[in-house]
Structure 1
Amino acid sequence: MSAVEGVDPARSRVFGEVAEAYDASRPGYADALVSQVLAYADLGGRPALEVGAGTGKATVQFAGRGVPLTCVEPDPRMAEVLRRNAAPYPHVRVEVGGFEEWEAAGRRFGLLFAATCWHWFAPERRWDLVHDALVPGGAVALFWNPHGVLDPEVYEELADVDRRFGVTGSPHGVPAATFGDEPGQGGEPFWPAGECRADGRFTDLTAFRYRQETRYGTERYLGFLASISSYRVLSAERLDGVLAETAKVLDARGGGIDMLHVSDLFLARRRA
């Protein structure tokens, strides 16, 4: 879920329409990020809670490290794919529902993480929900995958396509040169550090940025775009048009797009 799409409960439910394409085209997260989260959380066998789990892009990376997981996902169609992806891991439990409505039923977790979905949760409630789900000293990990276009000419051509079709918030909406070394810089307008610090119930705030270059072929990149809410809300005619024009640009550039793939990680701990 693109972090520039804003908080809109109705818009946050459009992903289930393309759950399979979402799962096939969305990128995963840096292995180093997963290692950093687990080192920081120091679970010691305690379970973790994932909210807004989607189809399990992050789930399987944590489950593969042996972490007992409860995954909360609001869309039943996404949850169906999530269950399939998590099937090899018997220590993963999937619960369908929104985080705001989810019942902990007395459970508390050593880690709560949210992968590219924090911006969908109600700002006036999300830190209360996190605090209540964690044991004292428990960790919260929030992370995103912003992208930047490496070729400035491709960026300009795609920006023109987006302007003509009224698209905002696309993965190619930022040139790679915008990204510096600081986490949250260049691609994450909802970076949580200020909000968390102002809350006062969390400590040990820290952040990391992981960078790698990657190439998307035209077909995969169009699938990626079609899974993003700013494209899902377009009329069928406009969606077909913008994807066709985007494909023309990419095919003229060798059949794909070279991107800077960033994984930004924010960590904090509930005060003991």
Structure 2
Amino acid sequence: MPFSPHAQHAAPRSPIRGPALPIGVAVTALGMLLSIASVPAASPEAAAMPEPVAVMQVPTVQVGATTAADPCSDPAVQQAVQAGDDAATVAGFGGGAAFREAVVAGNAPCISLRDPARVWVVVNKSLPLKPADYEPGALDSVPLQMTTPSGRVRTDVAAAVGQMADAADAAGVGRIGANNGYRSYGLQVTTYDSHVRSQGQGQADAGSARPGHSEHQTGLALDVVACGSNCGGLDGFGGTAQSDWVAAHAWEYGFIVRYEQVGTPVTGYAPEPWHLRYVGIDLAAAYHDGGFHTLEEFFGLPAAPDYAH
């Protein structure tokens, strides 16, 4: 072959020769190469970034944000309420403390603190009885020595105060008698008016409930006195062995001392260590264990030191 002066500038031929590719395959391969070559090269920053990972969204759950069950939906509670069995109703809620918690939380729609037939009724200067001339059902004689003719209370209260007085006597603190039990609306009118005449309106309101606002009218309250050879009066009860024992143990029989000195700013009444209010054993235990001194605080109600008018 003659020498060409431009031969040194020609591209060298590959020393390896393979079989020729079919035209269709060659075209396909060429297309793939062109397709790959057309993809832009990734930048170093993009190459360093990890591929995005799909994250499942988990709903936020608030701890303790569960809705409490309504105790009133329990058939046993419904039956107890309809039957007027207060002890069974409280037990159905899980006891006195659980009953109180449900009432305070507004989770007890079947419980009314205004129902005068229930041991949990609250009667004060802001919450009168409804109806004002309410009369309780079955009343029984107080099984204690009485110093006034008002010697009746509800049957369950009579049984409880008899057991309490027997326990006090057995403990050696002396006998307990009673001054007043149930007072009707009409008798409360007479009682309150006599205090107003003798003491004036202000003093009367501090020591005697206006008609329609008295716990005595529910049959759930009674005033106790200390008895020796004779029974003393109300003013002489505080500071006696019987008074100290009652303050420490009345709750064991379902009673609370309704008007303590520490509770005067809440109730508006001067201290009455003799005035016992029956709420039942379970509620009295919760009241005692919780360190409460007024029913208003116990049930989360506002203070009621004054009448609305």
Whether TM-score is above 0.5 comes out as: no
Whose strand proportion is higher, 1 or 2?
1
- Name the larger-Rg structure: 2
TM-score normalised by structure 2 residue count:
0.23
The structure, 1 or 2, with the larger RCO (C-alpha pairs under 8 Å, 6+ apart) is 1
